[in-house]
Structure 1
Amino acid sequence: MKVKNHILGFPRIGLNRELKFAQEKYWNGEITKKDLLFVGKMLRKRHWKQQYKNGIDYISVGDFSWYDQVLNISMMLGNIPKRHTQKNIIDLNTLFLVARGCAPFRKPTFASEMTKWFNTNYHYIVPEFTKNQIFKYSWNQLLDEVDESLSLGYNIKPILLGPLTYLWLGKVKGENFNRITLLKRILPIYQYVLNELKKRNINWVQIDEPILSFDLPEIWKNSFVYAYNELNNYTNIMLTTYFGKVDHNLEIIKKLPIQGIHFDLISGKYNLSNLINFFSKDILFSFGVINGRNIWSSDLFKWFNILKPILKKRYFWIGPSCSFLHIPIDLSEENLLENDIKNWFSFAIQKCKELKLLSDSLNKNNVKKIEKYSKKIISHNISDKVHKIDVENRLKNLKKKDFKRKNIYKIRKKIQKNKFNFPLLPTTTIGSFPQTNKIRKLRLDYKTGKINSKYYNKKISKYIKKVIKIQEKLGVDVLVHGEPERNDMVEYFGENMNGFIFTKNGWVQSYGSRCVKPPIIIGDVYRKKPITIKWSKFSQSLTKKPIKGMLTGPVTILCWSFLREDIKKSIISKQIALALRDEVSDLEKSGIKIIQIDEPALREGLPLRKKNWDKYLSWSVDSFRLMSSGVKDSTQIHTHMCYCEFNDIMKSISDLDADVITIETSRSEMDLLEYFKEFNYPNDIGPGVYDIHSPNIPTIQFIESLIKKAINYISVKKLWINPDCGLKTRTFEESILGIKNMIQATKNFRKIL
């Protein structure tokens, strides 16, 4: 039999972010639901055709989502929180209401929580579970999309997020109970969907269970056996694992009545001979040999030599390590990249071609084409654009003192208190202010040479003056300049450091309609010149209140970039930290007294298995401290984190030794702070008191309720008041109203205290 190829999912946003723009127009009332649905159908049709045209044997269906794939399953199961169940209807507007807290023709309410999808920069809406919950098959687009693709004549493989992973990713609300007890209630709905697929003569269904990379409790392991016995006899199931090795759960997987299993060979190395001998000969293997999370061309010659001996023993499929959701769509659009650099890369469409090329080579036992193709990677390793001896020597010569502040926090706290004299419950925002269309156009016009620097600087100055004036009028204690000169918190710093390159159209979905364009790290990283000094210094000249210098931390830049693969992550992280240590020093010298180093990706980068945590946390904490520790005791270092489970790593967050940390907590209504009953966080902390990712304006009473909760867990002497995140996605009207209510709620508490 011939080796077949497939993918685990295709990017859904469209080459030119068509989905993003259609969603936002629909939310703003500029287009109808019919118009929005048309865009979705057009994108699906295009993406199926692209897979087919580029040689994919099984076309992926079910990877499309209007927000995220976890929320798709919540809709399928009718798992809609009561506050979002309006008009007794579950439809597309319900989905947007759950995700955003508002939707056309729906009464606004607070959105469900959002957090990171495993160890990626993609986000999902967290399912909410209550005891005695009833599930009912509800709004589900999968079957419609299957019918749609079958009508076009494609050989398809539907995709479903597995029931165990879905339950694991959710959160219990109200009375505490083990959510695994809900498994029996959701399986009949999965059975119904699989039966409908069987009626449509679907041969294979991909069911994703990435939690098999985790260290699972026994009750969850046993539940896998129960669940898949219940799902057997409908259609062939390709159980899909990714983001890590599952060797510690092979005994459980072996017991499952499944017909196929996918292994991610990029995230974890396996002895393939031992692996195939472990399972029944009836099991179909799928090997993830193309990196679905990075954009480098694959060494197909290497994989040919690994897989060819296996083909003599077993028939198998090949695919990517995970869904292509995490990479851009088409490299051919990048006409501004130098050819020698462009040859190093491969986006979703090109990776489909790689799979076709490798499967053909395996089937024909011919290596000529892939041998030539794989020389692309070799050219990177010998390029003069990669290694800089000065950077590598500086890293080698670091001393222990480079990773420590001069004095401990208690001493710094007294010095800073005398210097700043902040009121009780000091207020601040996280950094960015609204990124208006005018500001985006201004930056683009400057970048493309349509306007000169004098005009550009005049407009940026005007924006900053406006932002400073707004904050002073509202009564914010620590101000920000609003970041009008910055496109993205990672891209901006990458553009101003060596070792990075950028794409023109390499967009990747982060959540909902939010897309980012990750930089690519191709070589050793160092700073060209000061990056933020000009506008930080200008902003401070406008006010007597302290302005925060705003920087992105090394681990976040690392996690939110596409990385070179020839050196360890820890080395890249410390290179970035050293480059930005110089920026911290220059900010301090220029008169900036408070410097915020954002590290929202610290938890995201955590390995999936706990046995690997310490090593990662050691070098990631060292990277932050290397960047932040060269300042005086009187300089206050802030950090910010959002949308993740901080409790897992709170000790390491404490080890960062930032004077103040601000974190996201409002979507969970401060539930996160339960942890502080047991853990006495030593430094100052600002739990976010309103959700900036929703256009809903928090009331004074709502913010007061969150401040009251925070005071139950954190000493008022350590407590700061701030939003969850930056305000770049909001309008000025929304931002002003939100901050105004936050300040008033804070003043009310100051009177009481």
Structure 2
Amino acid sequence: MKQTLLPTSTAGSLPKPSWLAEPETLWSAWKLQDEELKSGKQDALRLALQEQQHCGIDIVSDGEQSRQHFVTTFIEHLNGVDFIHRKTVRIRDRYDASVPTVVGPVSRQKPVFVDDAKFLRKQTKQPIKWALPGPMTMIDTLYDDYYKSREQLAWEFAIILNQEAKELEAAGVNIIQFDEPAFNVFFDEVNDWGIKCLERAIEGLKCETAVHICYGYGIKANTEWKKTLGSEWRQYEAIFPKLQQSNIDIISLECHNSRVPIELLGLLRGKKVMVGAIDVATDTIETPEEVAATLREALQYVDADKLYPCTNCGMAPLSRKVATGKLNALAAGAAIVRSELQGKN
């Protein structure tokens, strides 16, 4: 992968076109069916790629155009999970949701995203990042009526994720990212076995690996929860030391408009860090200078060759116009700081 100073990327999802799904809505139903849906998803993927390229994003993704949800779209392709008989559970100790039930041994029937990754690889020579749900976030999005053990189920998912990740790598993916917002809630479990499960999911991979930990999409349940966290969000402090020692290459988190003390990045010294410089919980489009200011702060604690400017989280709930404006600002802000750094050399 060609090394660019301060390579930009998105944390995950991008808005879907209105002809594919209801815009600015999570879990939106598809508006197409069968072969039309398949080709529609590919068209949406092409649009998402083109949008990223026009905005100057360095590490591109599929924008999660073929997924209704960042976790359940993967799970619905697995054996052992019943989507008909659902249960209501508390998601990340934050809000109630109706979720599928684990009723037997979980296994992967066939590759889930590999064909999509191959399709994206044919469209571009740029570095590609692909997001998968992390084991702990997967178990937190289900009702387990079979294993009756969060840890055991997480290990089973880690094995399945590793199978998928190896095939994504073979398809030409340069960075495989595991989304683990649950890491921001279940700190004891993260340190006891969560990070080890994640390391099982990346076992044998030669491509770069990342874990995205965040305070979530800009939806009401998340924004209300964040109001309860006080003036400083120090949750990362509980898990960064072990993540710094882990085999994961890149840690992704939000910084812009968050109350995460920037000095906590110092706990990750030596790791690459995807620094969220775009707030996904507001329609206000950042200026390039605001992005640059966030990156300059982060550079006090992250070496320049290890800093990856990024969005705080996915942007599926935003309008396409707002998301595009934010991607333009991200690229322009990174360019400002990149020029400053190169001017010093």
Q: Which interval holds the TM-score relative to the shorter structure?
A: 0.7 to 0.9
**Residues 508 and 569 of structure 1: is their aligned pair in 2 closer, same or farther, counting only changes over 3 Å?**
closer
* Pairs within 5 Å for 1:40-79: none
Specify the alignment match of 1:749 in structure 2.
Answer: 337
| Alpha-carbon offset, residue 487 of structure 1 | 1.1
Specify the alignment match of 1:576 in structure 2.
Answer: 157
Specify the alignment match of 1:409 in structure 2.
Answer: none
**Residues 681 and 469 of structure 1: is their aligned pair in 2 closer, same or farther, counting only changes over 3 Å?**
same
Gaps of 5+ in 2: 23-27, 216-232
Once residues 689 and 745 of structure 1 are traced to their aligned partners in structure 2, the CA distance between those partners, rounded to angstroms, is 9
Q: Which AA in structure 2 matches 1:452?
A: D
Instruction: State which structure, 1 or 2, has the greater radius of gyration over its C-alpha atoms.
Output: 1
| Alpha-carbon offset, residue 443 of structure 1 | 5.2
Give runs of ≥4 in structure 1 deviating > 6 Å: 504-511
Specify the alignment match of 2:239 in structure 1.
Answer: 649
| Alpha-carbon offset, residue 721 of structure 1 | 0.2
Specify the alignment match of 2:193 in structure 1.
Answer: 619
| Alpha-carbon offset, residue 629 of structure 1 | 1.5
Select 1:496's aligned residue among 77, 82, 105.
Answer: 77
Q: 1:429 touches 1:726 (CA, 8 Å); kept in 2?
A: yes
Once residues 655 and 498 of structure 1 are traced to their aligned partners in structure 2, the CA distance between those partners, rounded to angstroms, is 34
Once residues 751 and 471 of structure 1 are traced to their aligned partners in structure 2, the CA distance between those partners, rounded to angstroms, is 21
Once residues 98 and 9 of structure 2 are traced to their aligned partners in structure 1, the CA distance between those partners, rounded to angstroms, is 28
Query: In angstroms, what is the RMSD of aligned CA positions?
Result: 2.4
Q: Which AA in structure 1 matches 2:174?
A: K
Once residues 640 and 500 of structure 1 are traced to their aligned partners in structure 2, the CA distance between those partners, rounded to angstroms, is 25
Q: Which AA in structure 1 matches 2:275?
A: P
SS at the partner of 1:576? helix
Specify the alignment match of 1:556 in structure 2.
Answer: 137
Once residues 535 and 584 of structure 1 are traced to their aligned partners in structure 2, the CA distance between those partners, rounded to angstroms, is 13
Specify the alignment match of 2:253 in structure 1.
Answer: 663
Specify the alignment match of 1:713 in structure 2.
Answer: 301
Q: 1:491 touches 1:517 (CA, 8 Å); kept in 2?
A: no
| Alpha-carbon offset, residue 465 of structure 1 | 0.8
Once residues 688 and 616 of structure 1 are traced to their aligned partners in structure 2, the CA distance between those partners, rounded to angstroms, is 22
Identity of aligned residues (%): 24
**Residues 416-447 of structure 1: per-residue CA shift (max 9 Å, x gap):** xxxx222211110012111455323695455x
* Pairs within 5 Å for 1:463-542: 463-503=44-84, 517-542=98-123
| Alpha-carbon offset, residue 594 of structure 1 | 1.9
Q: 2:249 touches 2:272 (CA, 8 Å); kept in 1?
A: yes
Q: Which AA in structure 2 matches 1:734?
A: V
1:697 pairs with 2:285: yes
**Residues 288-332 of structure 1: per-residue CA shift (max 9 Å, x gap):** xxxxxxxxxxxxxxxxxxxxxxxxxxxxxxxxxxxxxxxxxxxxx
Q: 2:165 touches 2:176 (CA, 8 Å); kept in 1?
A: yes
Specify the alignment match of 2:34 in structure 1.
Answer: 452
| Alpha-carbon offset, residue 591 of structure 1 | 2.0
* Pairs within 5 Å for 1:276-425: 420-425=1-6
Q: 1:549 touches 1:596 (CA, 8 Å); kept in 2?
A: yes
**Residues 181-200 of structure 1: per-residue CA shift (max 9 Å, x gap):** xxxxxxxxxxxxxxxxxxxx
Q: Which AA in structure 2 matches 1:625?
A: E
Select 1:547's aligned residue among 108, 128, 134.
Answer: 128
Specify the alignment match of 1:41 in structure 2.
Answer: none
Specify the alignment match of 1:735 in structure 2.
Answer: 323
Specify the alignment match of 2:313 in structure 1.
Answer: 725
| Alpha-carbon offset, residue 519 of structure 1 | 2.8
SS at the partner of 1:525? strand
| Alpha-carbon offset, residue 654 of structure 1 | 2.0
Higher helix share: 1
SS at the partner of 2:115? helix
| Alpha-carbon offset, residue 490 of structure 1 | 1.4
| Alpha-carbon offset, residue 503 of structure 1 | 4.8
**Residues 369-406 of structure 1: per-residue CA shift (max 9 Å, x gap):** xxxxxxxxxxxxxxxxxxxxxxxxxxxxxxxxxxxxxx
SS at the partner of 2:284? coil
Q: 1:488 touches 1:516 (CA, 8 Å); kept in 2?
A: no
Once residues 167 and 147 of structure 2 are traced to their aligned partners in structure 1, the CA distance between those partners, rounded to angstroms, is 31
Q: Which AA in structure 1 matches 2:241?
A: K
**Residues 627 and 505 of structure 1: is their aligned pair in 2 closer, same or farther, counting only changes over 3 Å?**
closer
Specify the alignment match of 1:148 in structure 2.
Answer: none
Once residues 160 and 46 of structure 2 are traced to their aligned partners in structure 1, the CA distance between those partners, rounded to angstroms, is 29
Higher strand share: 2
| Alpha-carbon offset, residue 623 of structure 1 | 0.9
Once residues 488 and 515 of structure 1 are traced to their aligned partners in structure 2, the CA distance between those partners, rounded to angstroms, is 16
Alignment TM-score, normalising by the size of structure 2:
0.84
Specify the alignment match of 1:588 in structure 2.
Answer: 169
| Alpha-carbon offset, residue 605 of structure 1 | 2.1
| Alpha-carbon offset, residue 484 of structure 1 | 1.7
